[in-house]
C-alpha cells in the first residue's frame, strides 16, 4: 500500500524549519528539502523522528 498523496502534501520535517519532504517510493524514504535528513517509511508509516533520521552520504547528496 502506498502513502496517501494528501498525507504527503502535509508532511514536513520535524526539525524547527519544517521544510517540505520529497518522497522516494522505491527507497521507501522521505527526504527533507532543506537539511537533507532521510526518514524511513516502515510498514507504510513515515518515521519522522530526528533521532532515527539518516544524513545523506556523499553518494546520496
> Bridge-partner residues for 11, per DSSP?
none
Phi, psi (deg, nearest 5) at residue 60:
-80, -25
Residue 61 lies in a domain: no
Q: What distance in Å separates the CA atoms of residue 40 and residue 51, rounded to the nearest whole number?
A: 12
- Residue 2 banded pLDDT, cuts 50, 70, 90: confident
In terms of residue numbers, what domain contains 46?
5-52
Task: Read off the pLDDT of residues 35-45 as tens digits, 9 standing for 90 and up.
Answer: 999 999 999 99
Residue 42 lies in a domain: yes
Q: pTM for this structure?
A: 0.88
Residue 12 lies in a domain: yes
In the chain, the number of structural domains is: 1
The sheet carrying 38-42 orders its strands as 21-24, 29-32, 38-42, 45-46
Task: Read off the pLDDT of residues 7-41 as tens digits, 9 standing for 90 and up.
Answer: 999 999 999 999 999 999 999 999 999 999 999 99
Residue 60 lies in a domain: no
Residue 41 lies in a domain: yes
Residue 11 lies in a domain: yes
Which CATH number goes with the domain that contains 22? Answer: 2.20.25
Amino acid at each position: 500500500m502506498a502513502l496517501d498523496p494528501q498525507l504527503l502534501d502535509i508532511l514536513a520535517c520535524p526539525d524547527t524549519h519544517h521544510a517540505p519532504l520529497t518522497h522516494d517510493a522505491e527507497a521507501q524514504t522521505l527526504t527533507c528539502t532543506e537539511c537533507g535528513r532521510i526518514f524511513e517509511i516502515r510498514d507504510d508509516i513515515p518515521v519522522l523522528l530526528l533521532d532515527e533520521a539518516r544524513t545523506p552520504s556523499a553518494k546520496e547528496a
